Every structure is written in C-alpha cells, then in structure tokens.
Chain A
Amino acid sequence: MTPEQTVELQNASPDGSVESAMIVRILAGENELYHDLIRPHERSVYLTAFSVLQNTADAEEVAQESILKGFRHLCQYRAESRFSTWLLKITLNEARMRLRKQHRELWESIDAQTDEEQSEYVPHEFGDWREIPSEALERKEVRKVLSAAVAALPEIYREVILLRDVRQFSVAETAEVLGVSAGVVKTRLVRARLQLRDLVAPMTTSRGLFSRNPFLKRKKPWS
C-alpha cells in the first residue's frame, strides 16, 4: 500500500475504522502493516518531539523510538482514543523524559508556567499587517522568521501551537495529547497565538519581509 493510498483510506473513514482494522491485523501477526499504519502520522510525531526538544537530531531519534514503542505496546492501545492521539501521547512523554535527562537543571517547571498563565497577555502595538503573502513562504528567510518565533515561545505554548495550528488537531485531540482540559488548551492557545504574532510582526515590518497593503474588504478569518 502506498502512503497516498493509506491516507486516502483513512480519510474515507473518519471514525478510524480502517485504522482499527489494520491494528487488529497487526496484532494478529501482520507486522509489516505497521509501516502503513504510522505513515500518515510521521510528521506529527516528529513535530511533537521537536516542540519539546528543539533539536532536529534529538527529535528524529525520539520520533523513531516512540514509533517503535508504539509497535511494542500496540496490544495496550484502546480504541476509545484515536491511534494518532495515543501515539502522540507516547511521543510527548518520551520527548519530555529525554529533555529531563539531558537538561535537568534547565527543565522549565510546569508549575511556574502555570502561574504565568494566570495573568493576562497584552499584545504589542504594531502597524497594520493585513496581507497574507503566501508567496513569501518561497523565501527561506521568511520560513526562518516563523520557525524562530515558534522556537522562542515557552514550551507549553510551543506544544499547543504545533499540535493545534501546525498539525491542525482539534482542541479536544490537542487536550488529550497534552493531558489537560479543552479549557486549558484554549487559554494557552490565545496566549500562544498573540505572542507568536508579537514575535513575527516586528520582524516582518522592520525587515520589510511582507508588504503591508491592507485588505480592502474584511474576510472571515477562517474562510
């Protein structure tokens, strides 16, 4: 089965029944099917590890280990959550353990970050930046500005941005992977998004990376 066929099959099955059927077959001994099962999730697994570790080599190694661990523990998977959610929870846990092991003294305390969440985030004043110049992404410099801005976020905001906005998981799935409530995801998301905008906007205007032509007509943000 090609990766495209796998994705197509899974898309045709929003309830994940195709994935569940594959898992049953793998557990019955068709181990090779595990290649196809994880193919649609490779990118999410890597980015989840990267959101914690901030290093491509470490993130790749943790991604590999998490996927292998997923295979070894597949019999423990319960269909009440999506396979992707289950796999990303393993990945997040592996990445956090790796970070603790490597940089115990630098570990950012979740408690300390929770305290920060209590206060309101006030966005900075910048000039208008209303155009979406998707063609600007052709330029490496623009991509670097965006990835550096995400890297500059505190870990709890980086995780929520990578799951929700980069990988487009729902609020409920993001909450399940992170082990927090949907309300906490939404609170982190508003702070993360406003901070991200504050980090990107001055770079875009001062370096002239994007033009600043305002939209003539307001569009719905989700359209």
Chain B
Amino acid sequence: MVLNCKDVRREISNYIDDDITPEMRAALEAHLGQCRHCSAILDGTHNVIVLIADDRVFPLPVGFSSRLHDRLQQELESV
C-alpha cells in the first residue's frame, strides 16, 4: 500500500490514537519516513494533543467545587 499526503492527513488522527490496521501503520510510517511536511504535521498535532490534556490549560473556576456542593446540599436538604 502506497499513500500520498492526502491519505496520510486523513489517517493521522487514527494513527495518533493507535486505531489503524498494521498494514495502514506500515504504509503511514513509510510515507512519514520520507515526507518532511507530513512528519511535521504529525509531530505538531501530537504536541498540541499532549499539551491541551494538561489540566492547567482549562482550569476550573476558583471555588467551583465548593459552590457546587453548597448548592447541591441545599437541594438535598429540600427533598
């Protein structure tokens, strides 16, 4: 199986998720090994995914949990 850049872009997300067949992985890696552009896209995309998974990027508002449980307690007591 020989892939072009368009094929690689379509599969890049499944590749990051390890959700592809061994044949597709081999074909992707063969392309990535010789295509600097696709290789840069893969690395950049993977970096962004790693970074946004960090809890510090989307923090909960300060005091969120205590306000939530205070309101919940009021609801539970009113039942």
Contact = CB atoms under 8 A, between A and B. Distances in A.
Interface residues of A, number: 57
Interface stretch (A82-90, A93-101, A108-116, A126-134): A126-134
A143 interface: yes
Contacts of B15: 221
Interface string B34-45: 001101111111
Contact of A222 (B17, B56, B60, B68): B17
A67 B43 contact: no
A186 B15 CA distance: 11
Contacts of A171: 17, 19
* Chain B contact surface mostly: helix
Contact of A35 (B10, B46, B60, B69): B69
B4 interface: no
B57 A194 contact: no
Interface residues of B, number: 47
A43 B60 contact: yes
B64 A150 contact: no
Nearest to A182: B19
B42 A221 contact: yes
B40 A194 contact: no
Given A146-B48, A161-B52, A171-B17, A67 B57 contact: no
Contacts of A43: 55, 60
A42 B13 contact: no
Interface of B: 6, 9-10, 12-19, 32, 36-37, 39-58, 60-61, 64-65, 67-69, 71-73, 75-76, 79
Given A125-B37, A127-B40, A128-B36, 4 more contacts: A50-B58, A60-B61, A130-B47, A197-B48
